[in-house]
Structure 1
Amino acid sequence: MLTKDLEVRGEPGGGNEADVEPEPAEILKQLERVVGSSLFRNSKRYPSLLRYIVGEFIAGRSDALKERALGIEVFGRDPDYDTNADPVVRISAGEVRKRIAQYYQERGHEDELRIEIPLGSYQPRFFRPFEDRRSTQTQPEARFRDNAAVPPELHDLHPEPTASSVITPTSIAALDPPLKAKIRQPRFLRITRLHLIWIYGLLLCALIPLILFGWQKYQGRQLRPGAAFFWDRLLHSSEPTLIVLGVHSFDAQGNDISYVSHVLLPQTQQTLLSAMTRSDMVQLNDLTSYVRLTTLLTQNAHSFYTQGATDTTLEQLRRGPFVLIGGFNNLWTTNLTKQLRFRFVTLQNGRNCIQDSQRPERIWTLDTQQKALSNTRDYGMVDAFFDQETDQYVLIVAGIGMSGTEAASEFLTNEQGLAAWLQSSKSGAGDNVQIILSTDVIEGKPGQPQIVESFRW
């Protein structure tokens, strides 16, 4: 029987919530229900933290559940790591608390054993939900209905009515003044009530158009099923969305250099002017994609902030959902797609392409050596998946060239096109997907995006 750290709550009336404290087997069974739900099963970090906390409690070591100990044991941090600079435990614990609350709010979990991690502590508490005992309580008016059941010492408190104390209809009629006589209110009170009725009526008439207008605005922001498939998991997050823009850097001769070369370039060789004119430059097409995506976020009242790819850290990506814009100019796009079926790679001949990792001979490439205004075909990719490394939902809008990125952003913000894709693909809520798109570029202008290949898991 668990006694340490276990809180048995009571109802307002003073009774206990449960007659028996939860056994370890019951706690572990409830733990697996929670971590097996859709709120936890796609994550690696949050179930590990919750399992460790509960396991230490059952083992009687709940006093050792401190931030540093959790960072070392659960997240593999060094014993002397700085908890202020690396708040992984606090961020993860906050997300675990939120997901536990969401779990118990779902229908069907009302009667289950409750698991709770109080704010400011990492020691868990377990309790049963309040039981409705009103149906088993004796009604006060029925308690002494049978006078024989009343204890003798209480008979004096509840005497039998006598003939003189019984009020008959005749005696009621004889009362003066009559009991049912209507008492007239003063005139000023009747006037005030009438005025209030008029005021409430005018206010209601004024509020009805505002309510209708707000409802229309609310209805206008509802995304169609296709767009909701990609955007709902991001819009329903309590954290703001981080948008990471791909950037370009140039050497002294004006040649485009990769982010790796840019990072390795000694900073002492750059002046302030050269840093402003040659580093972290954003393409105009990527800004067009950025405007499309942020317009949708703004219309749905979702907050966001923006950073360049070279200035973004892994810890920042772990704080909430994020969107990556750009392919080969965004280091996070190439890093996070390495383990996916379709990925951005550079061939031995130096040409950039999208490659099918399951069938490496299948590639989609763009000839970047042709004339800028010649007619060609570019390829883009839209990825929507739960990333295990960052433990967050991510959207990738990227292309081999700048037209491919623009085509991907157009596809992701076209609600009619997304609805048609969802109907044909039969993807379900929570699925991870990759979609390869093509666009015909005529005199430097991209055309309508066309779906070339897709994959879901």
Structure 2
Amino acid sequence: MVMGTHPAEGSRNFSSQDESDAAGNSIASQAGAADMVPMRDISSFEELVEPLILRHRRYTFQAARITTIEEIEQGPVLLIGGLDNPWTLRLTRKLPYTLESDANHTGWIFNHQHKDVRWGFNPFVEPAREARDYAIVAGFFDTDIQQHVVIVAGIGKNGTAAAAEFLSQNTYFANWLAHIDSRRKNFEVVLATDLLNGDPSPPQVLQSLTW
């Protein structure tokens, strides 16, 4: 698991720990190597690793900025975070939907099959009373690294939280699966979450593709 990190209001500083233990040590204590991690990203991380802990599965966790290509190639990888995670940006370049940012620090999700379709949000500007953040959830086999990849990536922290909720809560993911061709093994979903006074709504599927 590779998480993006960045300075942000409401972040905490964590020490590093590479592997979880079967007893379920504090998730937050693993979020680290002296990186600043928004607390909502830690909550997203906890949602995603809980099934692994319950099944006593071991995993490796570290920050994106210190992760090498050799480590990425060692096994299936879960990438958490969007614009703050360089591995998310790199491994989504060939996907139908990609994350990019402009000179004003607005993050965008582009639909590369329809160039005029895009969704934007600036995570560095205090949101208005009503705003909307966006995210990508993807699962695919990457032929460059020869590994299965899962991506949970919001433009902002609320987008990442919505993506984690979509993937970890069976109701949302199962409802989406019921409307697609389940024989296709790769997928990418664009999500939105409405922010009302800073509180995110449940994830909403805007578009998706399978292949």
Q: TM class, shorter-chain normalised?
A: 0.7 to 0.9
Aligned partners of 2:111 and 2:196: how far apart in 1? Answer: 27
The Cα of 1:374 is off from its aligned counterpart by 2.4
- Which TM-score applies when normalising by structure 1? 0.39
Aligned partners of 2:147 and 2:204: how far apart in 1? Answer: 28
Report the AA paired with residue 38 of structure 2: Q
Tell me which residue corresponds to 2:140. Answer: 385
1:303 pairs with 2:58: yes
For 1:279-290, list aligned pairs within 5 A: 280-290=35-45
Question: Residue 6 of structure 2: which of 248, 254, 269 is its match?
Answer: 248
Tell me which residue corresponds to 2:108. Answer: 353
Aligned partners of 1:348 and 1:371: how far apart in 2? Answer: 17
The Cα of 1:306 is off from its aligned counterpart by 0.6
Report the AA paired with residue 310 of structure 1: R
Tell me which residue corresponds to 2:23. Answer: none
The Cα of 1:349 is off from its aligned counterpart by 4.7
Tell me which residue corresponds to 1:455. Answer: 209
For 1:174-323, list aligned pairs within 5 A: 243-249=1-7, 280-323=35-78
Tell me which residue corresponds to 1:229. Answer: none
For 1:7-406, list aligned pairs within 5 A: 243-249=1-7, 280-347=35-102, 349-368=104-123, 370-372=125-127, 374-406=129-161
| Mapped contact 2:191–2:203 kept (Cα < 8 A) | yes
Aligned partners of 2:125 and 2:2: how far apart in 1? Answer: 29
1:303-340 deviation line (CA, Å, top 9, x unaligned): 11210001100100111111000000000000111111
Runs of 4+ in 1 over 4 A off after TM superposition: none
1:407 pairs with 2:162: yes
The Cα of 1:280 is off from its aligned counterpart by 2.4
The Cα of 1:443 is off from its aligned counterpart by 1.4
1:421 pairs with 2:176: yes
369 and 317 in structure 1: CA distance in 2 versus 1, 3 angstrom threshold: closer
Aligned partners of 2:105 and 2:39: how far apart in 1? Answer: 24
Tell me which residue corresponds to 1:232. Answer: none
The Cα of 1:450 is off from its aligned counterpart by 0.5
RMSD of the alignment, in Å? 1.9
Identity over aligned residues, as a percent? 36
Report the AA paired with residue 246 of structure 1: G
319 and 370 in structure 1: CA distance in 2 versus 1, 3 angstrom threshold: closer
- Farther-moved stretch of structure 1 (417-426 vs 308-317): 417-426
290 and 456 in structure 1: CA distance in 2 versus 1, 3 angstrom threshold: same
3-state SS, counterpart of residue 360 of structure 1: coil
Report the AA paired with residue 346 of structure 1: S
Report the AA paired with residue 448 of structure 1: P
1:444 pairs with 2:202: no
| Mapped contact 2:135–2:155 kept (Cα < 8 A) | yes
Tell me which residue corresponds to 1:212. Answer: none
3-state SS, counterpart of residue 282 of structure 1: strand
Aligned partners of 2:166 and 2:187: how far apart in 1? Answer: 14
1:427-450 deviation line (CA, Å, top 9, x unaligned): 22x511000000111111111001
Q: What count of residue pairs does the alignment treat as equivalent?
A: 187
Report the AA paired with residue 445 of structure 1: D
**What are the ranges of 5 or more consecutive residues in structure 2 without an aligned counterpart?**
10-33
Aligned partners of 1:288 and 1:338: how far apart in 2? Answer: 27
**What are the ranges of 5 or more consecutive residues in structure 1 without an aligned counterpart?**
1-242, 255-278
Aligned partners of 2:59 and 2:122: how far apart in 1? Answer: 35
- Which TM-score applies when normalising by structure 2? 0.83
Which structure has more relative contact order (CA 8 Å, sep 6+)? It is 2
Report the AA paired with residue 80 of structure 2: I
The Cα of 1:350 is off from its aligned counterpart by 4.0
The Cα of 1:348 is off from its aligned counterpart by 5.0
| Bigger fraction of residues in strand | 2
The Cα of 1:388 is off from its aligned counterpart by 1.1
3-state SS, counterpart of residue 407 of structure 1: helix
